[in-house]
């Protein structure tokens, strides 16, 4: 039985650390001393420190990260209740935000702007030297590489390695089941092209990446927006939409949804697949953020529950390692022949060099090591940015702490104009994404998406502070 003095020691240490956390002496995202170091500093056994850390972890104040240590957690009780956004009945809707999107994209090439709008990994977090080495190795291994057309479905060995990666969530595929594409957007576009014709109705997330809206418009399709709640996609609303409209296909971002960061629970994924399989409505699953999880386990996919091939699984390596290489892939299930045929018609094949370079990067065993580092860095950045938002933004805003990905979805009071904030921020050399570009309905003008992809620097913190002050000023005026 443990002595009272030993219990007192770990309880005293835990209370000291708790006070430091609650008083913001230790801030969210900061690493705590190692068990060995703190045991020496406090002149106690490592088991005493473990008990103190366990006590703080049970209270939700700190978290353990595998092979990294203990970190101060974001304090969820400090955020206000979420603003609910619901639509009572499914309707076909459309809104033109192309001008706002053009304004946003024009900022991407600026060398002076602080980009808090980019949903891609910071160059500072990418293994540039090893990628360059992989490119050089690919060129040396086959001097005629740039002169040959690759296989229309993509480099077979790369497809085999990607299939191995998909085992992480239970995907059990052969190389011939996959098609390499020019990024995930090409995979999504081809999927829409083979499943629909102009005038058809599809179901999509109420909030989703604006390029998906543009693809729907370009193909002459009609969209029914399915609400995304704190618990993920509203399946009951989807059922109503299926009854009301002849839905030919659906397209959903299932993990760390862009822009909200919400991850569809596994039970809902299973329910969604069962529903759409019964109705024989294909699901185009965009899982581009699935590998960027902050927890212990990678989230599952709709494809995992797909027994009859109605899910077209789309992803890419753009969000994890090489945005500019434009290497995506699709597992089209029962639609493999149509997909591969459309890929040949559209672009014949995907560029040889980036495929060969990434193949060598994988073969050297570098990818999973890089992913672990990237996830740790993004998790830390999310915690640090969240503290900045709590400190500098108006008190009556809502944002959820993402469990993966790159983005915060921030909701202001409904009278707020996110586009007005976007324009004012641009004048101060700060780029954010206004909420209405992610919606097919005239809602969410009071929201913005803020990226934490860049490591937090003094310049970025100052930019968040200025952004928060602009928001406070606008709220005073409305």
Residue range 339-361: mean pLDDT, rounded: 93
CA–CA dist 460, 473 (Å, integer): 20
Token pair belonging to 394: 């108006």
User: Do 233 and 328 lie in a common domain?
Assistant: yes
Token pair belonging to 472: 């406070």
Residue with tokens 């024989």: 280
The band of 478, judged by pLDDT with boundaries at 50, 70 and 90, is confident
List of long-range contacts for 79-84, beta carbons under 8 Å, 24+ apart? 79/390, 79/398, 79/399, 79/400, 79/401, 80/395, 80/396, 80/397, 80/398, 81/398, 82/230, 82/398, 82/400, 82/411, 83/398, 83/411, 83/414, 84/229
pLDDT, tens only, 208-250: 888 898 899 999 999 999 998 877 889 999 999 999 999 999 9
The pLDDT of residue 80: 52
The pLDDT of residue 57: 83
Peptide bond between residue 259 and the one before it cis (omega within 30 degrees of 0)? yes
Q: Which residues of 274-292 are buried (b: 16+ CB within 10 A; e: fewer)?
A: ebbbeeebbbbbbbbbbbb
The pLDDT of residue 3: 45
Tell me the three-class secondary structure of 236-293, residue by residue: HHHHHHHHHCCEEEEEEECCCCCCCCCCCCHHHHHHHHHHHHHHCCCEEEECCCCCCE
Domain boundary among 52, 73, 94: 73
Any idea what the CATH number is for the domain that residue 152 is in? 3.40.640.10
Domain boundary among 341, 367, 393: 367
The pLDDT of residue 78: 47
The mean predicted confidence, pLDDT, of the chain is: 88
- CA dihedral (105, 106, 107, 110) positive or negative: positive
The pLDDT of residue 18: 86
In sequence order, what E strands does 7-162 have? 62-65, 69-72, 92-93, 114-115
Decide: helix, strand or coil at residue 138: helix
Residue range 255-280: mean pLDDT, rounded: 94
pLDDT above 90: percentage of residues in the chain: 57
Structural domain containing residue 357: 133-367
Distance of CA 453 to CAs 99, 100, 123, 274, 439, Å? 25, 22, 9, 35, 22
Domain boundary among 318, 351, 367: 367
User: Do 235 and 291 lie in a common domain?
Assistant: yes
pLDDT at 384 over 80: yes
User: Do 252 and 357 lie in a common domain?
Assistant: yes
Residue range 348-372: mean pLDDT, rounded: 91
The pLDDT of residue 95: 53
Token pair belonging to 315: 């992803």
The pLDDT of residue 77: 47
The pLDDT of residue 155: 93
User: Do 93 and 190 lie in a common domain?
Assistant: no
Total count of domains within the chain: 3
CA–CA dist 421, 419 (Å, integer): 5
Between strands 62-65 and 69-72, the pairing is: antiparallel
The pLDDT of residue 112: 84
pLDDT at 268 over 80: yes
Q: What is the pTM of this model?
A: 0.83
H helix or E strand, kind and range, residue 188: helix 183-195
User: Do 102 and 155 lie in a common domain?
Assistant: no
pLDDT at 83 over 60: no
User: Do 348 and 463 lie in a common domain?
Assistant: no
The pLDDT of residue 4: 46
Please, are residues 29 and 384 in contact by the beta-carbon 8 Å criterion?
Answer: yes
User: Do 270 and 316 lie in a common domain?
Assistant: yes
The band of 88, judged by pLDDT with boundaries at 50, 70 and 90, is low
pLDDT, tens only, 123-165: 999 999 999 999 998 888 876 766 778 889 999 999 999 999 9
pLDDT, tens only, 443-469: 789 999 999 999 999 999 999 999 999
């Amino acid at each position: 039985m443990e002595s009272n003095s030993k219990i007192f020691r770990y309880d005293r240490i835990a209370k000291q650390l708790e006070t430091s956390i609650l008083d913001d002496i230790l801030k969210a995202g900061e690493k705590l001393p190692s068990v060995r170091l703190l045991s020496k500093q406090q002149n106690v056994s490592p088991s005493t420190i473990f008990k103190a850390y366990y006590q703080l972890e049970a209270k939700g104040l700190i978290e353990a990260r595998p092979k990294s240590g203990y970190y101060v957690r974001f304090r969820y009780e400090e955020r206000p209740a979420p603003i609910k956004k619901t639509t009572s009945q499914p309707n076909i809707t459309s809104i033109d935000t192309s001008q706002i999107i053009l304004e946003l994209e024009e900022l991407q090439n600026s060398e002076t702007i602080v980009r808090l709008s980019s949903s891609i990994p910071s160059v500072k977090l990418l293994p540039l030297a090893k990628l360059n080495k992989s490119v050089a190795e690919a060129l040396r291994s086959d001097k005629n590489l740039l002169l040959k057309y690759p296989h229309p479905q993509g480099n077979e060995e790369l497809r085999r390695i990607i299939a191995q990666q998909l085992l992480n969530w239970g995907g059990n595929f052969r190389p011939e089941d996959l098609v390499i594409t020019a990024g995930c957007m090409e995979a999504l576009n081809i999927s829409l092209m083979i499943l629909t014709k102009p005038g058809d109705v599809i179901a999509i997330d109420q909030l989703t990446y604006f390029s998906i809206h543009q693809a729907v418009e370009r193909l002459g399709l009609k969209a029914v927006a399915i609400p995304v709640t704190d618990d993920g996609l509203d399946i009951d609303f989807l059922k109503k939409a299926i009854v009301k409209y002849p839905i030919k296909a659906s397209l959903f971002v299932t993990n760390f949804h862009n822009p909200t960061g919400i991850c569809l629970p596994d039970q809902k994924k299973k329910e969604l697949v069962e529903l759409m399989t019964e109705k024989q409505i294909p699901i185009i699953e965009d899982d581009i953020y699935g590998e960027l999880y902050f927890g212990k386990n990678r989230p599952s996919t709709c494809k995992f529950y797909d027994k009859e091939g109605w899910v077209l699984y789309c992803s890419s390596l753009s969000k994890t390692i090489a945005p500019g290489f434009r290497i995506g892939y699709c597992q089209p299930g029962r639609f493999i022949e149509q997909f591969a045929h459309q890929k040949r018609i559209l672009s014949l094949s995907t560029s040889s060099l980036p495929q060969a370079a990434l193949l060598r990067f994988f073969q050297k065993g570098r990818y999973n090591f890089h992913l672990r580092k990237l996830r740790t860095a993004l998790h830390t950045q999310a915690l640090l940015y969240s503290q900045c938002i709590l400190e500098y933004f108006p008190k009556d805003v809502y944002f959820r702490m993402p469990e993966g990905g790159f983005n915060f979805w921030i909701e202001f009071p409904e009278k707020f104009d996110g586009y007005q904030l976007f324009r004012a921020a641009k004048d101060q050399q700060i780029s954010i994404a206004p909420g209405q570009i992610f919606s097919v309905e005239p809602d969410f003008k009071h929201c913005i998406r803020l990226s934490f992809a860049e490591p937090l620097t003094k310049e970025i913190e100052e930019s968040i502070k200025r952004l928060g002050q602009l928001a406070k000023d606008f709220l005073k005026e409305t």
